[in-house]
Each structure stands twice: as structure tokens, then as C-alpha cells.
């Protein structure tokens, strides 16, 4: 409970005690009125003030206005009738405030819950100076500095292990409970918790650019992107509140008028004025207004618990309607960790061919380039390479030691007019041309991620109608992977622009209301990520551009999480709809009862607070949607 909530609770208790005491106080007339005014103002002064401010700013119709008019009206009526029955007005205000208090408590609690789950913000980094560890602000650590992470501490900044080995707990990032073992040379992302050994890391990013900072940014900004359901609520409120105010006015004026004209059995204008005031109390749309954003917020929290970052409630809503999922192959369905399997038809020594390839690829971040550099085993000497040009989906050309070198697929060779020898081996082929002459090829192979097949099956079970794989890789490789995984449709040998075209075709063909998700790692597919209804990026391996462009980020690159995200979104949306139907249903029933004179103000406020509490509790269920 924060200070504000504590103060509110004190006011509630004080007002309740005063009200109870007054029930036994034998005072009548004006003294009675002034005595009741005390608990009324204790509990309601802020509402009255907000209502007055609303009227001054010409934003009249909100729940403060409803409560103020209803309770002031009820008091005035009691005064006029001389009944001295002020209890109702005070109690209505009291219950309304109980509801408000509960709501702020629940919202605060679920927010805290979520930030606890996301409790990954590191407070310091250890830097070694003169043999002693010093704690510094992670913001002050430069790229390339060496930091020390001790067991039990959070990794504050992304880096590479230079000394030591340990197991890392990545649960806060990925929802994965199995620890990950790391040793010298391994990349470590910030936000993990070091469990067993002391690690020395050389940082590869600044704190502000590190994984933790990015994730926190995403989560903190997620709720600012509103979904259609939330928009619906604000549009609804804009029409609803004036409408009920009008209806209440009509209720107060028309029946007595009709009664006076003899068209209607006259029940007296006080009766109708009271009904109109009760109508106002009953109409308060609090449950709806609060529970829907809270449901989405909880849904986003539930997803992040499962290792899926959703950047806004609009994407959660879109996810729930996903019918088509389009995958990139390399790095998404396959691990994207290629291995050189062979060097064939080389016109020079195999090592020389590999050296040329590694030099030409020295600037590329493509998984293929990384594997070639790895196979080469040394740091390529960049001084020997100039004119590097990379063509997405084809390969690279460069000048190495004065020779023009090209490394890439069939398409690249065809474009350069180089006759190549096709490869019969299974895998991706990197053809090499040196000085315009074919120089042989390097066969590399990628492996399918262990969960890819299950991921495709899970998507089908989650109601996805169509799965499509797009790849720039050769037909043979693409078809083999697609068959192995059970993907419905496959298109191979695509340039990055072709991928956009394919996705646009699928977008045009899909049925109305269905949503298309594209899943990629951002290498050669960032434009598609932003073009799709929902762009899903691999967070661990994916490029920064992908994580920027995407709407949803899978923290551990596990394609199985896509189906999970869809299930979480469905659960969240169904909670939202339950709340909408429930709140509006009870509200309408109440309004009808009130208009017919079958319900009084007590019932109205109980119904309102009751519905709100149930709706909020229901909303919080979305936080646990990712379980199991």
C-alpha cells in the first residue's frame, strides 16, 4: 500500500465510524444535517472537488460528476422532505470510495507484480581497479571494458566471457527455468542471473543499448499502445455518460409532468427525482473503464513471464486473431548456426578458397558469413579487403588482395555471368568466383531447431489455418526443411523484396478479420517484419533492427513460444470480453430496475462496486494466462 492508499483507507474507516456513531445520535433538524455533513465531506471532498473542476473545464460527464450530483441531490431531497435520511448519500459515497480504493490497490499490486517479474534492472556493475572490485553505475561502463559478475548477481551489461565459467539463470528473460552453462568466449546477455561461478566479461554494448535496457523500455511503453477494445471503451464512455445523464434528467422531469397532466398516475416529483439520482449512481461505468486496460496490462505481464514480449495491447489483440503464420527459415526455424561441411571443385587450395571467402565475408553479419569466419579460425585481416558489397538474399562481392571475389548463391553467380557447378550435397551452397572465374564452392549446413516441428503442430492446434515458409535459400534445402517440419507452403530463392511481395500477396488474400504474423530474425527480413500485421522477432539471436521493427519479441528464439503467445492473447481477450459483457449486462439490468423503482441507491452502489471488484479480479487472471 502506498501513502495515498493508506490515507484513503484512513478516510474510509473514519467516515464509516462516524456514520455508525451518528446512527445512534438522537439529533434532529439542522444540527443533524451538519453532523452528517462531516462524514460526507471526509469521504467525498475530493470527488466534489474533481467534479467542480470538471465543470469548470467543461469536461462535465465523468464518474465524479455522477457521484457528486447523485449524492448532493439525495441530501438536498432529504433536506427538502425533512426526512433527515442522509445516511444513504454518505453511504453511497463511502462505497464508491471503497471501490476506488480497491481498484487502485489491485492495479498497483498487479503493476508491482509485473515489475517484479521484470525485476531485471541491474543496480551496479563491478569493475576491477588495482585488484579490488568497485561498484559503479552500469551507465558509466564503456564498451569493451571488463566487468566482474559474481554468483548471485545480475549481469548488468551484454558482453562476452573472457574468464571463468558458470551457469546462468535466464528465467526473467525467457521464462525458461533450465540454467544455461557459459564459458570463455560465450556471449552473455544482461538480465540473466549468475548462479555458480565468477565471470569476467568484456562488454560489447553500452548499458543503454544492452538487452535489459531494451526490454525494460519495451515493457514500460507497452501499455501506451492502445487496442481497439480500449478505444471502444473511451468512445463508449464519451457517448454513454451524456446519454445516462440525459436519461436521468428525462426520468426526473417527464413522468411527473405526465402525472401533472393527468396522463399518468401521479407518484409525486420527489419519487422521480430520487429514481433519477439512483439512476445516476447505478450508471457509473467504473468496472468497464478500469478492468479492460488492466486485463491487457496483465496479459502483457503474463506473456513476458513466458518469455514473450508484446509491445502493446493492440498486438495482443491482433495475436488472438492470427490465422496465417509466415516464417523466415534461416535463424527462425533453423538454428542459423551453419557449419562448413565441405569444399568442392576448388581451383585453388581449399584453405586459400576458405581464406578468400572469410575475407570477403569479413563485414557481414549473416549467419553464413559467421560460419565461414568460424571455419577459417582466425580474425580476418580487414586491411586486405576493400569494396565490400553485400546483396541481401544473394551474397557478397569484395576485392581481396587485388582480386575480385564473389561469394554467394546461384543467383549471384548468374548475375555475374559465372558458370557454376551445382552441388549434390545436402545443405546451403556458397559458390565462389575469383576474378570472374568459378573457383569452387563451400557446402555448409544448418540444423532445424529442436522445437520447430512441434511449433508448427502447436500453431495448428491453436487454430492457425496456414503456415508458410519464405527463404532466400536454394529450393532443395527449402523443400527438405519444409517437408520435415510440415509447413503448408514454401517459397524459396527469394530476395528480401520478394519476401515483402509474398507477404503482401498473403495479406491481400487472407479473409477479413484474420491476422498475419511474420516471424523472422531480422537478417534480410526487417522490412517484412514491419509490413506484417504482427512482426515477431527472435530476441536472442535476432538483429537489433529486428527487435526494433517487431511487435512481439521471443526472448529465447524458441518458435514454440508463438503458439503460446497466441494462447495467452486469446485467454486475455476472452477475459476482456467477459468483463465487457458482464459489466454492461449488470449495468443495464440495474438501470432498468432503478427506472421501474425496484431498486434503491444502496443496491445501485453495491452492484457497481461488486461488479468492479469481480471484473478486476477477473482481469488479474490474465497475468497467469501463460502458465502450463
Which residues does the annotation mark as catalytic?
328
Instruction: Give, as one character, the DSSP assignment of residue 331.
Output: I
Considering the complex, state which of residue 331 and residue 559 has its C-beta at the smaller distance from Mg ion.
Answer: 331
Task: Give how many residues touch ligand ADP by CB under 6 A.
Answer: 24
What residue is closest to ligand ADP based on CB?
472
Contact 198, 146 (CB under 8 A): no
All three cell numbers of 450, joined, read: 529442436
190 binds ligand ADP, rule: CB under 6 A:
no
471 binds ligand ADP, rule: CB under 6 A:
yes
Determine the 3-state secondary structure of 390 from DSSP: strand
Long-range contacts formed by 442-445: CB under 8 A, 24+ apart:
442/340, 442/342, 442/343, 442/344, 442/353, 442/354, 442/357, 442/372, 442/407, 443/340, 443/341, 443/342, 443/343, 443/344, 444/338, 444/339, 444/340, 444/341, 444/368, 444/371, 444/372, 445/338, 445/339, 445/341
Which partner in ligand ADP, Mg ion, none is near 153 (CB below 5 to 8 A by kind)? Answer: none
Could you give the CA distance from residue 75 to residue 55 in angstroms, rounded to a whole number? 20
Could you give the CA distance from residue 366 to residue 298 in angstroms, rounded to a whole number? 37
Could you give the CA distance from residue 344 to residue 123 in angstroms, rounded to a whole number? 53
- Applying CB under 6 A, the span of 232-240, 403-411, 433-441, 600-608 interacting with ligand ADP comes to 403-411
- Which residues contact residue 180 at a Cβ distance below 8 angstroms, ignoring those fewer than 6 apart? 167, 168, 170, 192
Considering the complex, state which of residue 191 and residue 520 has its C-beta at the smaller distance from ligand ADP.
Answer: 520
| Sheet strands side by side (includes 403-408) | 339-344, 437-445, 428-434, 403-408, 395-400, 385-391
- Which residues contact residue 315 at a Cβ distance below 8 angstroms, ignoring those fewer than 6 apart? 225, 534, 551, 552
Considering the complex, state which of residue 5 and residue 391 has its C-beta at the smaller distance from ligand ADP.
Answer: 391
Q: Which of 227, 409, 502, 618 binds ligand ADP (CB under 6 A)?
A: 409
Give min distance, CB of 503 to Mg ion, in A.
Answer: 14
Q: Which of 161, 407, 481, 562 binds ligand ADP (CB under 6 A)?
A: 407
- For residues 329-358, which are near Mg ion according to CB under 5 A? 330-331
- For residues 341-400, which are near ligand ADP according to CB under 6 A? 361, 364, 366, 368-369, 390, 393-396
Considering the complex, state which of residue 388 and residue 523 has its C-beta at the smaller distance from Mg ion.
Answer: 523
- Applying CB under 6 A, the span of 57-65, 283-291, 294-302, 401-409 interacting with ligand ADP comes to 401-409
Could you give the CA distance from residue 442 to residue 39 in angstroms, rounded to a whole number? 84
Give min distance, CB of 396 to ligand ADP, in A.
Answer: 5
Contact 114, 623 (CB under 8 A): yes
All three cell numbers of 446, joined, read: 544448418
Binding to ligand ADP by CB under 6 A, coded x per residue (else -) over 276-295, reads --------------------
Considering the complex, state which of residue 320 and residue 394 has its C-beta at the smaller distance from ligand ADP.
Answer: 394
Instruction: Give, as one character, the DSSP assignment of residue 621.
Output: G
Considering the complex, state which of residue 300 and residue 396 has its C-beta at the smaller distance from ligand ADP.
Answer: 396
Give the CB-side neighbour count of residue 329, counting CA atoms within 13 A: 33
SS (H, E, C) 253-264: HHHHHHHHCCCC
473 binds Mg ion, rule: CB under 5 A:
no
Binding to Mg ion by CB under 5 A, coded x per residue (else -) over 511-550, reads ------------x---------------------------
Give min distance, CB of 408 to ligand ADP, in A.
Answer: 4
Give min distance, CB of 295 to ligand ADP, in A.
Answer: 36
- For residues 112-151, which are near ligand ADP according to CB under 6 A? none
Give min distance, CB of 199 to ligand ADP, in A.
Answer: 32
Give min distance, CB of 520 to ligand ADP, in A.
Answer: 7
Give the CB-side neighbour count of residue 613, counting CA atoms within 13 A: 13
Q: Which of 63, 88, 317, 328 binds Mg ion (CB under 5 A)?
A: 328
428 binds ligand ADP, rule: CB under 6 A:
yes
Task: Give how many residues touch Mg ion by CB under 5 A.
Answer: 4
CA nearest neighbour of 562 among 499, 528, 515: 515
- Phi–psi pair at 286, nearest 5 degrees: -55, -45
Give min distance, CB of 319 to ligand ADP, in A.
Answer: 23
Exposed, middle or buried, 596 (CB in 10 Å: 0-12/13-18/19+)?
exposed
Considering the complex, state which of residue 523 and residue 580 has its C-beta at the smaller distance from Mg ion.
Answer: 523
All three cell numbers of 226, joined, read: 492502445
- For residues 510-549, which are near ligand ADP according to CB under 6 A? 523-524
Considering the complex, state which of residue 255 and residue 472 has its C-beta at the smaller distance from ligand ADP.
Answer: 472
Determine the 3-state secondary structure of 127 from DSSP: strand
Contact 39, 31 (CB under 8 A): no
Determine the 3-state secondary structure of 265 from DSSP: coil
Which partner in Mg ion, ligand ADP, none is near 395 (CB below 5 to 8 A by kind)? Answer: ligand ADP
Give min distance, CB of 536 to Mg ion, in A.
Answer: 13
Considering the complex, state which of residue 300 and residue 523 has its C-beta at the smaller distance from Mg ion.
Answer: 523
Give the binding site for ligand ADP (CB under 6 A). 328-331, 361, 364, 366, 368-369, 390, 393-396, 407-409, 428, 430, 471-473, 523-524
Give the binding site for Mg ion (CB under 5 A). 328, 330-331, 523
Amino acid at each position: 500500500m502506498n501513502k495515498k492508499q493508506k490515507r484513503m483507507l484512513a478516510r474510509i474507516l473514519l467516515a464509516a465510524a462516524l456514520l455508525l456513531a451518528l446512527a445512534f445520535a438522537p439529533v434532529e433538524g439542522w444540527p443533524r444535517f451538519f453532523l452528517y455533513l462531516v462524514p460526507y465531506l471526509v469521504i467525498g471532498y475530493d470527488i466534489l472537488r474533481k467534479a467542480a473542476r470538471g465543470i469548470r473545464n467543461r469536461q462535465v460527464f465523468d464518474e465524479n460528476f455522477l457521484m457528486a450530483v447523485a449524492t448532493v441531490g439525495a441530501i438536498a431531497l432529504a433536506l427538502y422532505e425533512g426526512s433527515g435520511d442522509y445516511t444513504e448519500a454518505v453511504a453511497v459515497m463511502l462505497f464508491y470510495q471503497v471501490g476506488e480504493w480497491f481498484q487502485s490497490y489491485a492495479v498497483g499490486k498487479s503493476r508491482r507484480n509485473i515489475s517484479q517479474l521484470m525485476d531485471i534492472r541491474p543496480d551496479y556493475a563491478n569493475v576491477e581497479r588495482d585488484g579490488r572490485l568497485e561498484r559503479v553505475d552500469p551507465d558509466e561502463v564503456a564498451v569493451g571494458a571488463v566487468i566482474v559478475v559474481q554468483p548471485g548477481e545480475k549481469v548488468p551489461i551484454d558482453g562476452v566471457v573472457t574468464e571463468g565459467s558458470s551457469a546462468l539463470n535466464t528465467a526473467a528473460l525467457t521464462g525458461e527455468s533450465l540454467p544455461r552453462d557459459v564459458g570463455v568466449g560465450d556471449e552473455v546477455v544482461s538480465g540473466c542471473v549468475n548462479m555458480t561461478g565468477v565471470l569476467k566479461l568484456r562488454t560489447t554494448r553500452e548499458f543503454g543499448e544492452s538487452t535489459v535496457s531494451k526490454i525494460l523500455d519495451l515493457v514500460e511503453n507497452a501499455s501506451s499502445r492502445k487496442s481497439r477494445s480500449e478505444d471502444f471503451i473511451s468512445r463508449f464512455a464519451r457517448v454513454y455518460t451524456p446519454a445516462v445523464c440525459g436519461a436521468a434528467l428525462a426520468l426526473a422531469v417527464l413522468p411527473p409532468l405526465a402525472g401533472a397532466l393527468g396522463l399518468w398516475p401521479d407518484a409525486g416529483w420527489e419519487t422521480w427525482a430520487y429514481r433519477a439520482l439512483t439512476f445516476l449512481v447505478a450508471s457509473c461505468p467504473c468496472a468497464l473503464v478500469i478492468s479492460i486496460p488492466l486485463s491487457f496490462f496483465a496479459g502483457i505481464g503474463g506473456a513476458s513471464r513466458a518469455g514473450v514480449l508484446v509491445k502493446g495491447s493492440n498486438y495482443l489483440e491482433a495475436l488472438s486473431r492470427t490465422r496465417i503464420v509466415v516464417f523466415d527459415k534461416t535463424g527462425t526455424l533453423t538454428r542459423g548456426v551453419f557449419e562448413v561441411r565441405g569444399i568442392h571443385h576448388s581451383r585453388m587450395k581449399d584453405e586459400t578458397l576458405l581464406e578468400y571467402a572469410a575475407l570477403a565475408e569479413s563485414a557481414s553479419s549473416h549467419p553464413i558469413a559467421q560460419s565461414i569466419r568460424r571455419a577459417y579460425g582466425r580474425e580476418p585481416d580487414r586491411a586486405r579487403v576493400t569494396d565490400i558489397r553485400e546483396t541481401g538474399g544473394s551474397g557478397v562481392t569484395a576485392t581481396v588482395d587485388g582480386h575480385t571475389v564473389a561469394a554467394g548463391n546461384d543467383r549471384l553467380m548468374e548475375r555475374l555471368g559465372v558458370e557454376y557447378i551445382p552441388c549434390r550435397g545436402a545443405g546451403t551452397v556458397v559458390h565462389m568466383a575469383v576474378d570472374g572465374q568459378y573457383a569452387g564452392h563451400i557446402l555448409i549446413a544448418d540444423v532445424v531447431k529442436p522445437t520447430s516441428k512441434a511449433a508448427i503442430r502447436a500453431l495448428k492446434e491453436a487454430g492457425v489455418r496456414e503456415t508458410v515458409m519464405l527463404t532466400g535459400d536454394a529450393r532443395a534445402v527449402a523443400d527438405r526443411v519444409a517437408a520435415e517440419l510440415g509447413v503448408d507452403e514454401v517459397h524459396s530463392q527469394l530476395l528480401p523484396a520478394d519476401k515483402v511481395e509474398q507477404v503482401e500477396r498473403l495479406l491481400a488474400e487472407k479473409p477479413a478479420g484474420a491476422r498475419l504474423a511474420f516471424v523472422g530474425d531480422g537478417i534480410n527480413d526487417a522490412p517484412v517484419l514491419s509490413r506484417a500485421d504482427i512482426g515477431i522477432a527472435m530476441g536472442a539471436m535476432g538483429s537489433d533492427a529486428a527487435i526494433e521493427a517487431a511487435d512481439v519479441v521471443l526472448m529465447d528464439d524458441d518458435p514454440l513460444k508463438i503458439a503460446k503467445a497466441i494462447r495467452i492473447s486469446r485467454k486475455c481477450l476472452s477475459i476482456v470480453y467477459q468483463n465487457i459483457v458482464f459489466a454492461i449486462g449488470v449495468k443495464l439490468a440495474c438501470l432498468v430496475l432503478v427506472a421501474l423503482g425496484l431498486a434503491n441507491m444502496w443496491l445501485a452502489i453495491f452492484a457497481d462496486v461488486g461488479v468492479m471488484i469481480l471484473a478486476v479480479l477477473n482481469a488479474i487472471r490474465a497475468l497467469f494466462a501463460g502458465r502450463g
